[in-house]
A and B are shown apart, each in its own frame.
Chain A
Amino acid sequence: MCGMNALTKQATRTAVSANGLRKAYGEKIVLDGVDLSIGAGEVFALLGPNGAGKTTTVQILSTLIPADAGTASVMGHDLRGEADAVRAVIGVTGQFSAVDNLLTGEENLLLMGRLLHLPAAERRARTARLLERFDLVEAARQTPATYSGGMKRRLDIAMTLMGRPRLIFLDEPTTGLDPRSRHTMWQLIRDLVAEGVTILLTTQYLEEADQLADRIAVLDLGRIVAEGTPDELKRRIPGAHIRLRFADAASLDAAARALREGTRDDEELVLRVPNEGGIASLRDVLARLGDGIVVEDLSIHTPDLDDVFFALTGSPSKEQAQ
């Protein structure tokens, strides 16, 4: 009971609180008034396309660059006045693995230990434990030049964990990883959460935010356009749909009559039918179409980041627009 109590108390504390963060490089506004409130022990995802301001937000909150305006505190320490106190409690794993390529995996971890001023015995013990935990024991004596992308990313996170951070910034931790490494990374993140670490994650993938985050903020052109739990956000996105393409207008007309809930696109000869119920719904749509109408092409569409963006901002994400 006592443990529960402590946990509840911790969960109510604020890990990150930011108000009106602004950043511009010359004419280009990167952050246009970002407010964030992240509870201790929470996994918070910043979701957005390239150029939305995700990395800039992480850079500001991890003391790398100052904001032009706005205030923020991390684990109760003011970003401007107590930067070193902030640095002592955070860990940052950036978009590109920041490991020393001329040192072995083991030496990289030992270097972190030295810089954290850990006693020699603890340095070695913690290095051994992290190598074990991140499945790098066999590669420990090799330099990262021989590592795969996933291994480098694991070494990077292991280095971040040397200092036992209470808040970890993970900037696009799975970008560029193959699906298998991505799932390994997700499991690693879940394990961290189980230990009570607060995580601020940035990602371009709705699925990743959905899988990992307690709360998601959608960032677009330097502004947070929506915030909530994954379920709250998904309710705001138009549901999945079945996309039917026809050879001619006559077939489209016939199909549109059979499936009145669909929205038609006469130019592309496409009918989009909402598909909430998976297989059952698909079977129902096909049954109602019957044998008489010839469908050229059928695809099942599940909501992705573009849908989120379309729904929340009324315009496709920047990348798609390009």
Chain B
Amino acid sequence: MTTLTIAAQDSATMLGRELKHTVRFPLLLIGSILVPAVLLLLFVYILGGPIGHGLGDAARGAPYVDFLVPGILMVTVAAGSGTTAINVCLDKTGGIIDRFRTMAIARGAVLTGHVGASVLRTLVTTTVVTGVALLAGFRPEASVAGWFAVAGIVAAFSFALAWLSAALGLVAKSVAGANGSTLPIQFLLPFLSSAFVPASSMPAGVRWFAAHQPFTPVVECLRDLLTGTPAGSAAYLALAWCAAIALAGYLWARAAFRRGTPVT
């Protein structure tokens, strides 16, 4: 067997392990559906009226729900990062990562397994949340190709955040800390992007931040695709951000994995 085949085989084994974990302990998966679903309903039925009226041109003449759902999908992707960081940290604190590290298996296969499972979980959660959105009156105009592109962006963003979360899970001292360190990804960055309201409507300092942080091009790209508008530069910018976050997260996770957990 070549090194590459071994790496693929070990990663597949770890992916299978992680998927089994998800099925046996689905609480976190359910949570990462419930949170965006509740936000969706909250914004559509309770807060959405005045927000929708104030949107103006940004809504492109459609109801607020059509503006909102791409943002909710992005929140759904981000919600998965908590699960990934928690699961990686559980493996670390439980000692099984150290067991794997003393075995002659492909380095990092356990992390690849976590990241792969994270992406698959996110594809499930975003599908369910899309279903809820359709029930709540979401009327997308995306073509078939558009839906594939949406799935692609969701997977790419999920992949990037999963590597970052894996690193956060490895460097966290406790499971609670691992979850806590992903809260900015799960809540702060989505709210400070054009997920819920356009960045242009925000106060000056925040507006600059919202316009230049990765979540904004991702949500704008999703919005373009779902409303059937040609996705322009937002798509390239979104993919560039995904690549950058994935690379940084991967390098960070790899370094943390190699460093191990010293006893004190």
Given contacts A98-B94, A115-B10, could you give 12 more A-B pairs where the C-beta distance is less than 8 Å? Answer: A55-B263, A56-B263, A62-B102, A64-B102, A64-B260, A85-B104, A92-B102, A94-B99, A98-B95, A100-B17, A102-B20, A117-B9
Set of chain A residues within 8 Å of B124, measured between Cβ atoms: none
Q: Give, as a whole number of angstroms, the nearest-CB distance from A32 to chain B.
A: 16
Q: Number of residue pairs across A and B with beta carbons under 8 Å?
A: 69
Q: Does B45 interact with chain A (Cβ within 8 Å)?
A: no
A101 near B105: Cβ-Cβ < 8 Å? no
Chain B stretch 78-108: residues in CB contact (< 8 A) with chain A: 94-96, 98-105
Q: Give, as a whole number of angstroms, the nearest-CB distance from A161 to chain B.
A: 13
Q: How many residues of A contact B (CB 8 A)?
A: 33
Chain A stretch 48-96: residues in CB contact (< 8 A) with chain B: 55-56, 59, 62-65, 84-85, 87-88, 90-92, 94, 96
Set of chain B residues within 8 Å of A64, measured between Cβ atoms: 98, 101-102, 260
Measured CB to CB, the residues of A under 8 A from B are 25, 28, 55-56, 59, 62-65, 84-85, 87-88, 90-92, 94, 96-103, 107, 111, 114-117, 159, 163
A59 near B104: Cβ-Cβ < 8 Å? no
Q: Does B13 interact with chain A (Cβ within 8 Å)?
A: yes
Q: Give Cα A115 to B24, complex, Å.
A: 21
B13 near A114: Cβ-Cβ < 8 Å? yes
Q: Give Cα A99 to B103, complex, Å.
A: 14
Set of chain A residues within 8 Å of B10, measured between Cβ atoms: 115
Measured CB to CB, the residues of B under 8 A from A are 1, 6, 9-10, 13, 17, 20-21, 24-25, 94-96, 98-105, 259-260, 262-264
Set of chain A residues within 8 Å of B9, measured between Cβ atoms: 117
A87 near B17: Cβ-Cβ < 8 Å? no
Q: Give, as a whole number of angstroms, the nearest-CB distance from B5 to chain A.
A: 10
A63 near B105: Cβ-Cβ < 8 Å? no
For residue B99, which residue of chain A has the nearest CB? A98
For residue B24, which residue of chain A has the nearest CB? A102
Q: Give, as a whole number of angstroms, the nearest-CB distance from B18 to chain A.
A: 10
A115 near B103: Cβ-Cβ < 8 Å? yes
Set of chain B residues within 8 Å of A55, measured between Cβ atoms: 263
Q: Give Cα A103 to B90, complex, Å.
A: 14
Q: Give Cα A102 to B105, complex, Å.
A: 21
A59 near B13: Cβ-Cβ < 8 Å? no
A100 near B6: Cβ-Cβ < 8 Å? no
For residue A116, which residue of chain B has the nearest CB? B103
Q: Give, as a whole number of angstroms, the nearest-CB distance from B49 to chain A.
A: 44
Q: Give Cα A85 to B20, complex, Å.
A: 30
Chosen A-B contacts, 19 in total, with CB atoms closer than 8 Å, are: A28-B264, A55-B263, A59-B262, A63-B102, A64-B102, A65-B259, A65-B260, A87-B102, A94-B98, A98-B94, A98-B95, A98-B98, A98-B99, A99-B94, A103-B20, A111-B13, A111-B17, A117-B9, A163-B103
Q: Give Cα A99 to B17, complex, Å.
A: 13
B6 near A117: Cβ-Cβ < 8 Å? yes
B13 near A115: Cβ-Cβ < 8 Å? yes
B25 near A102: Cβ-Cβ < 8 Å? yes
A59 near B263: Cβ-Cβ < 8 Å? yes
Q: Give Cα A95 to B25, complex, Å.
A: 26
A92 near B17: Cβ-Cβ < 8 Å? no
Q: Give, as a whole number of angstroms, the nearest-CB distance from A48 to chain B.
A: 13
When A and B form their complex, which 7 residue pairs have the shortest distance between CB atoms, in order from nearest? A98-B95, A87-B104, A98-B99, A88-B104, A92-B102, A114-B13, A102-B24
For residue B95, which residue of chain A has the nearest CB? A98
Set of chain B residues within 8 Å of A91, measured between Cβ atoms: 102
A25 near B262: Cβ-Cβ < 8 Å? yes
Set of chain A residues within 8 Å of B259, measured between Cβ atoms: 65
Set of chain A residues within 8 Å of B96, measured between Cβ atoms: 98-100
Set of chain B residues within 8 Å of A63, measured between Cβ atoms: 101-102
B104 near A92: Cβ-Cβ < 8 Å? no
Set of chain B residues within 8 Å of A115, measured between Cβ atoms: 10, 13, 100, 103, 105
Q: Give Cα A28 to B20, complex, Å.
A: 41
From B6, B24, B95, B264, A94 is in contact (CB under 8 Å) with B95
Q: Give, as a whole number of angstroms, the nearest-CB distance from A109 to chain B.
A: 13
For residue B14, which residue of chain A has the nearest CB? A115
If A84-B104, A115-B10, A117-B9 touch, whether A59 touches B99 (CB-CB below 8 Å) is: no
Q: Give Cα A55 to B264, complex, Å.
A: 10
Most A Cβ at <10 Å: residue of B17, B95, B99, B100: B99
Most B Cβ at <10 Å: residue of A28, A94, A107: A94
Set of chain A residues within 8 Å of B6, measured between Cβ atoms: 117
B99 near A159: Cβ-Cβ < 8 Å? yes
Set of chain B residues within 8 Å of A159, measured between Cβ atoms: 99
Set of chain A residues within 8 Å of B25, measured between Cβ atoms: 102
Q: Give, as a whole number of angstroms, the nearest-CB distance from A155 to chain B.
A: 12
Set of chain B residues within 8 Å of A100, measured between Cβ atoms: 17, 94, 96
For residue A84, which residue of chain B has the nearest CB? B104
Q: Give Cα A116 to B10, complex, Å.
A: 9
Q: Give, as a whole number of angstroms, the nearest-CB distance from A61 to chain B.
A: 10
B1 near A92: Cβ-Cβ < 8 Å? no
For residue A90, which residue of chain B has the nearest CB? B102
Q: Give, as a whole number of angstroms, the nearest-CB distance from A153 to chain B.
A: 12
Q: Give, as a whole number of angstroms, the nearest-CB distance from B162 to chain A.
A: 19
Set of chain A residues within 8 Å of B99, measured between Cβ atoms: 92, 94, 98, 159
For residue B10, which residue of chain A has the nearest CB? A115
